[in-house]
Chain A
Amino acid sequence: MTVSGIGNREQIGQLFKLNYAWLCARVRSRLGCPHSAEDIAAETFARVLSLPDPSAFREPRALLTTIAQRVMYEGWRRRDLEQAYLEALRGVPEPLQPGPEEHLMLIESLVAIDQLFDGLPNQGKTVFLLNQIEGLTYIQISDRLGLSLGAIHKYMAQALRCVYQVCEP
């Protein structure tokens, strides 16, 4: 949904003016790095803009803090994922490693998959992705991971519940 009405837009401008510097300072004190603090503050405001009615919040600084925190956590998780991916790639022969552009695309999708399966056990992610990406049948997955077919059905159902719950655009 988009912000509607000029009044709303003015209020957002006001929100930005009054709180941007404050938010940057607050994030910086938490993070210690001025550049990423500004990035995080900018991303936070972008998300506030996409809320149905941002001006309705009576405690804008509480809202900003909550969203900024989420942005920071996501950035943190992203870094973890990228580091872990690079580490895992060390075992892969060089000609098979993705180029820089591909790398960026893969990290984006890695982050998206990670968010999609938030709350799913690691085994569940592994089972689902072996099925979806490698196309392995359940019998093949059970051979590979040493899991029972019952466990594979259970994990597939958990993963597909995550997929069902994604909000449709």
Chain B
Amino acid sequence: MDVATLLGDLRLAAPELTLAGGAMALLMVGVLFGERLQIIASVALALAVTLGAGLALASSSAFGEDGGANLFAFAATGLASLIAFLGARPAGPINGAAASFLVAAGALAIIPAPEGVEAAFNGAFAVDGLSSFAKVVIALSGAASLVMAARYLVGERLAKFEFSVLVMLAVMGMLMMVSARDLIALYIGLEMQSLALYVLAAFNRDSVRASEAGLKYFVLGALSSGLLLYGSSLIYGFTGSTQFVEIAAAVGEEPSIGLLFGLVFLMCGVAFKISAAPFHMWTPDVYEGAPTPVTALFSAAPKMAAMVLFARALYEPFPEIAADWRQIIMALAALSMAVGSFGALAQRNIKRLMAYSSIGNMGFALVALSAGTREGLEGLLIYMTIYLVSTTGIFACILAMRRREGMVEKIEDLAGLSRSHPGLAVAMTMLLFSVAGIPPLAGFFGKFFAFLPAAEAGLWPLVIFAVVMSVVSAFYYLRLIRLMWFDQPAQPLVAAPRELGFIAGLSAFAMFPLFIAPFVAAPGRALVETAAGALF
């Protein structure tokens, strides 16, 4: 491998490298520098990476030769980075800088690969529409979770710079996951993400529940990694390659049992990451035990990364045997929807409830994946993006559930929110309606685009089951809404921090496709179509 190729490949991995380098640099800053120097160094690093990313984006071919568009891209990067920095700043300057780094990574992910190049590092690392779409969403979601975490960390005396470094490393793992086009790369990305998340789950190490959550997550995660590795080795053994493209060439119409077993193990490993039933058991305990901002992170970005990874790992190497893996995806989808919908009915803790909600939502997303068509992938991306936005908003509301004596997380504590915090209640109501799939809101269209391809592929029983389950799940969303609007408040919550209100409001606003349709829906559809086109 010559130097020029190596440099070219490194440039294609710019977002990951930025995060890796940034994480190291901020770690150094945190360990070595005093308070004052930390501020200066953080600001300087944030400024540098923002400028660099902005310039790189503006000078790239992403927006063509249009000077205005490039200037706008540069300005938007700077502004987003500034907002992220200020939002995450309360937990310390390093957190702010980390948020800026995440925004910068997102900006760099927009830059398309040069013409004719679709992968780096000998084809192990995909750089295409799908990866760049997913990376932007993941990076921004990561930045949002840092912003949401800031005040919480301060309040719970957890404001340590390691938090943001871990988030950066986890996000970096996710970015690698969505680019993985090789079994080894897939595993590296997955582990990178998981190891960081294990630590984050137990970040509040003085809390028994958080430690227990981290430990459970770690042990079961290790088990799932084992399954995944075993499956990978079987696939390698029966096809002779780790690269998706070559596996695809080796898989015939009639695959061997060994290969199928390998595929099953691989799928089980990935299903654990998206917490699809029956690999969901860790989810409620970890969601409940982990610090709330970590839960917010868990429920958003990693899901997107694992879903895209799932899609790529199925569509690229195994299109020939779609009939075989589709059965398993359908079973995962049906089980997840049932578990998510029924499990949430009896929950009293809102974080646990959100855990089941995310299990159910993964089931809905898997319905789209089971179609195995390009439209199915589009539906998956639309659904996941909308899910990410709404779940982030809901967690912003949950993070605002604070009384004077501390955080509360029983659903009864939401009672009377409409009177104490009308703005927050409206945002939360819209978000919940959307997640429940009430028509004019985005969540409905997410479900629509997710189920339609499956229906077109003839999977009617699954689609009908999905619709029935979404009716069941509407119950507990509506119960939350009833609590907020019709019940007497127990004790009022303290005023919500501005940045939480901002995120909740923004995501609630994004649920109105009619209002923002002209600006978002059409170009968004185009983006999703390009992204899905990468695999077809």
Q: Do A and B come from one complex?
A: no
**Residues of B that sit less than 8 Å from A by CB:** none
A interface residue numbers (CB < 8 A to B): none
